[in-house]
Structure 1
Amino acid sequence: MTFAGFDARLDRISTADRFLIVPMDHGITMGAVTGLKDIEATIDGVTRGGADAVLTQKGIASRVHANTNGAGYIVHLNGSTTIGPDENDKRVTGTVKGAVRAGADAVSMHINVGSTYEPDQIEFLAQLTEDAADYGLPVLAMAYARGPGVEGDDPEALGHAVRLAEELGADVVKTGYSGDGASFQHVVESTRLPVVIAGGSRGTNRETVEMVRGAMDGGAAGVSMGRSVFQHDDPEAIATAVSAVVHEDADVENALAAAGL
């Protein structure tokens, strides 16, 4: 049984059970990289292009709300930096109560399954899902297969990661892409949760859209793509292309054409 508020919030970060989320929490990880200095303009562009939701750390909330064009807002609750001792060591950066104060429709947390820090991150995510349930707030788990001896695109490892997220009480799970739709089907079948793929570093327009098409063909419920979208020369255009695949089931050529790419 779910709260009416939970369903309403889940609807605000998706469209017809499909998800196009643009995470922009990278400022804590990488600094004010391209696309994040004027984050207001980037948020405006990607949501005009069809993003269902944007995601940031809580401190950016005041720069988000006026620019979402009605899209949803997710507050991310852990992080690390590329210049710190170990980027995989994600530490808690906020609370559910703080996310609600910031106007969040959902919260998210990153867990590196297979890393040295997995035990602590399991505890963090388990506590987050308990706290979020008290507020009827959906939880997006960013569950990656990362660690010594773990191949980040291995379907078995990715399947384990997404199943762990479900076992800990998440509502939507983001993970890496296995490289093709056929192998990604195993990942999707490992859980009853909606599975969305990460975008990773930016590729060409065609590579980005082909990856999204492959994931959707493998049963994905959408994408949560950061740098591939917000670092694009035209964030609105690439968001439009990705949205065409996710929300309109467009093929690669038609998606690129719809965005003028």
Structure 2
Amino acid sequence: MDAGTGKAARLARIGTDGRYVVVPMDHGITIGAVAGLKDIESTIAAITRGGADAVLTQRGVAPRVHPNKNGAGYIAHLNGSTAVGPDANDKRTTGTVTDAIRAGADAVSFHINVGSDHEPGQIEELGRLTSEAHEYGLPVLAMTYARGPGVDESDPEALGHAVRLGEELGADVVKTAYSGDSESFEHVCESTRLPVVIAGGEPDGDRETLAAVRGAMDAGAAGVSMGRTVFQHDDPEAMTRAVHLVVHEDATPGEALRESGLAVEA
């Protein structure tokens, strides 16, 4: 039996029919134990009841994840930095593939800032990670952002370059920022054969968030990997359900707001 069989099985654990609602909650390293992360157990239980396919954290939090994830997949994130350090773009390795396996992960993830001063080292690290992960049949989610001096973080050309870099280095799913509209994001999705999922960014209102998800899906995206937009929501279960409806049931933002029980914003 080759490792590809295991990788396909594990990809199915972190998504549904090739679509993904992932909720990253690795922000404790970056910004600390903010709202939604102090009692991470309750938040994980809520978002997985709401329909998240997978939860993503740093491996040290795994014991708090598994008892509360309601059968959802688990992704271990393997690099990080802090918002108070000298350079938040300088993501450093925080674990290995074997660490992730011991933590019960179905996949691993790694963040790379394409265009930053730290890009060369992150390219090397991501290349090594995908090689090692695939030896064990473990999928890799590459968070490929366009970030650095003079880089427009929402430019579709830069985002397209970023996701293609993830594919070139052997990732299985790529995450990047949304360009702001469906038409320009088509270029991003067309830049790779891999599933593309969008980040959430700063919370900007429920309807705006769901409109971005709808626009990305219409452009050919495969889903989302949204953190604070979901786990810091007043009702993370309902917000996850709304995102799930757009990604997995092709709902409009309005339908998702109504069916999830969230108030329709004026």
Aligned to 2:46: 45
Alpha-carbon offset, residue 3 of structure 1:
2.1
**1:164 & 1:124 partners in 2: Cα distance?**
13
AA of the residue aligned to 1:153: S
Task: Name the aligned partner's letter for residue 6 of structure 1.
Answer: K
Asked if 1:132 corresponds to 2:98, the answer is no
Matched residue, 1:159: 160
Shift, 1:42, TM fit: 0.4
Displacement after TM superposition at 1:4 (Å): 1.4
For these two proteins, the number of residue pairs brought into alignment is 261
The CA distance in 2 between the partners of 1:207 and 1:230, in whole Å, is 16
- Residues 78-119 of structure 1: per-residue CA shift (max 9 Å, x gap): 000000000000000000000000000000000000000000
Letter in 1 for 2:102: R
Alignment partner of 1:218 is 2:203: no
| Residues 153 and 177, structure 2, Cα contact 8 Å, conserved in 1 | yes
| Aligned equivalents of 1:102, 1:19: Cα separation in 2 | 21
CA distance in 1, matches of 2:124, 2:254: 44
Whole-angstrom CA distance in 2 between matches of 1:18 and 1:129: 21
Task: Give a deviation string over 1:212-236, Cα, whole Å, max 9, x none.
Answer: 1111111100000000000000000
**Structure 1 counterpart of 2:171:** 170
The corresponding residue for 1:34 is 35
Aligned-partner Cα distance in 2 for 1:169–1:3: 13
Q: Which letter maps to 2:136?
A: Y
For 1:69 and 1:203, locate their aligned partners in 2 and report how far apart those are by CA, in whole Å.
28
Match of 2:83 in 1: 82
SS of equivalent residue, structure 2 residue 116: coil
Q: Aligned letter for 2:57?
A: T
Q: In structure 2, how many angstroms separate the alpha carbons of the residues matched to 1:119 and 1:3?
A: 28
Supply the AA of the counterpart residue of 1:48: R
SS of the aligned residue for 1:3 comes to helix
What is the CA–CA distance in structure 2 between the aligned matches of 1:16 and 1:2, rounded to whole Å? Answer: 20
TM-score of the superposed pair, with normalisation by structure 2: 0.97
Q: Deviations over 1:142-161 (max 9, x none)?
A: 00000011000000000000
> Using the alignment, how far apart are the partners of 1:190 and 1:212 within structure 2?
19
Amino acid at match of 1:84: G
Structure 1: segments with no counterpart, 5+ residues: none
Q: Match for residue 251 of structure 2?
A: 250
Name the structure 2 match of 1:101. 102
Give 4+ residue runs of structure 1 displaced > 2 Å after superposition: none
Find out whether 1:195 has 2:193 as its counterpart: no
* Partner deviation per Cα, 1:155-175 (whole Å, 9 max, x = no partner): 000000000000000000000
Distance in 2 separating the partners of 1:77 and 1:3? 21
Residue deviations 1:1-57 (CA, integer Å, cap 9, x gap): 852111110000000100000000000000000100000000000011010000000
* Rounded Cα–Cα distance in structure 2 between residues aligned with 1:186 and 1:209: 20
- Per the alignment, residue 146 of structure 2 pairs with 145
TM-score by length of 1: 0.99
In the alignment, the residues of structure 2 paired with residue 217 and residue 41 of structure 1 have an alpha-carbon distance, to the nearest angstrom, of 32
Identity of aligned residues (%): 71
> Aligned partner of 1:51: which letter?
A
Matched, 1:113 2:150: no
SS in 2 for 1:12: helix
What is the root-mean-square deviation in Å for CA atoms of aligned residues? 0.7
